[in-house]
Amino acid sequence: MRILVTGAGGMLGQAVTREFQGRNHTVTALNHARLDITGLAAVKQALAEYTPEVIINCAAYTKVDQAETDYEAAVQVNALGVRNLALACKETGAVLVHISTDYVFDGQKNEPWNIYDARHPVNAYGRSKYLGERFLETIAPRYYLVRTSWLFGPGGPNFVETILKLAREKDTLTVVDDQWGCPTYTIDLARALVCLVESGCYGVYHITNQGATTWYRFAQEILAAAGVKTNIKPITTAGFPRPARRPAYSVLDPFPLKETIGYLLPPWQEALKRYFAERRNTDW
């Protein structure tokens, strides 16, 4: 298939580009400099020039705290940009794959969120992503809406690298231990996206590595996997105030992913070990 990847310079965009190329698809990878999805004319021109059958939208505004004071910028990319892609796909017949987030949910459940649970985002970033989902659902005739969470992988800033950097700089780390979610390795996510697109089964999906954890427990595993001996202490969300409120429990239920692509992603602990193995063997 002819695939166009937006946001191809980002952490997920790079992984998606590699995985689709590895499955012998024809991939056009456009970073922000080559395609700004906030401009409808530019989006339509790109589709006319490259004639993709499928667009994978990895372009996103991801600065959760900054979105509280820069909401318009978040909306431009996360909502208006999706609208532009959906409108262009409606004209050309292309399929749109849009990457969304666990942060569209309020975190008030104590069990995993399923694909059709009510969305009540608790911060500006989540609201901008929710608007993008609504544009996708109401405009695009054929789409995959893929929610994921807590991404880590090569080619971009992520929680793993942040923890390692802080461990080099500080004797003791304090990390929040009352926010639950699913860490997700971008390479595993990208591989699942290839399978999903090849399935032809449009709809809403939750794709994360298996297993739930907290940021504190995730950080513990990171330090252990890296062989770094640093003191680390758990704290509550209340003890670590941030501009943007976070959902307390945003674990995602993967149904019907296995029924569609035939498998679930590996446990996040196993994915983390592969991340470090590939990190050691590759010049990232």
Beta-strand pair 180-181/213-214: antiparallel
How much is the pLDDT for 284? 52
Q: What is the mean pLDDT of residues 210-239?
A: 97
139: nearest Cα among 46, 73, 27, 40: 40
Structure token pair of residue 111: 């069990």
Q: How many CA atoms lie within 13 A of 138 on its CB side?
A: 9
d(CA 52, CA 75): 25
pLDDT tens digits for 24-49?
999 999 999 999 999 999 999 999 99
The answer to whether 111 touches 93, Cβ cutoff 8 Å, is: no
Beta strands in the chain (DSSP E): 2-6, 26-30, 54-57, 95-101, 143-148, 151-152, 172-176, 180-181, 184-185, 203-206, 213-214, 231-235
Joined tokens for residue 132: 């993008």
Whole-Å CA distances, 213 to 180, 249, 267, 283: 5, 10, 11, 29
Match 């969305």 to its residue by tokens: 119
Choice among 125, 130, 205, 275 that is catalytic: 125
Catalytic: 205? no
What is the pLDDT at residue 141?
97
In this structure, the strands spanning 172-176 and 26-30 are unpaired
Q: Which comes out higher in pLDDT, residue 145 or 283? A: 145
Question: What's the pLDDT score for residue 280?
Answer: 86
Q: Does 58 have pLDDT greater than 60?
A: yes
**What gap in Å lies between CA 164 and CA 180, rounded to an integer?**
21
Q: Structure tokens of 161?
A: 């690298």
Topology of the domain covering 2-157+183-210+250-266:
Rossmann fold (3.40.50)
Other Cβ atoms less than 10 A from the Cβ of 135: the count is 21
Is the distance from CB of 227 to CB of 169 less than 8 angstroms? no
Q: Say if CB 2 and CB 17 are below 8 A apart.
A: no
Contact 54, 3 (CB under 8 A): yes
Please state the rounded mean pLDDT for residues 243-264.
Answer: 99
pLDDT in tens, 98-147: 999 999 999 999 999 999 999 999 999 999 999 999 999 999 999 999 99
Q: Tell me, what's the pLDDT at 282?
A: 75
Q: What is the pLDDT of residue 281?
A: 81
Percent of the chain with pLDDT over 70: 99
Per residue in 164-222, pLDDT (tens digit) is 999 999 999 999 999 999 999 999 999 999 999 999 999 999 999 999 999 999 999 99
pLDDT higher than threshold 90 for residue 158 = yes
Better-scored residue on pLDDT, 281 or 57:
57
Are the C-beta atoms of 36 and 42 separated by less than 8 Å? yes
Q: Which of 95-99, 199-203, 263-267, 279-283 has the lowest mean pLDDT?
A: 279-283
**Can you give the pLDDT at residue 283?**
59
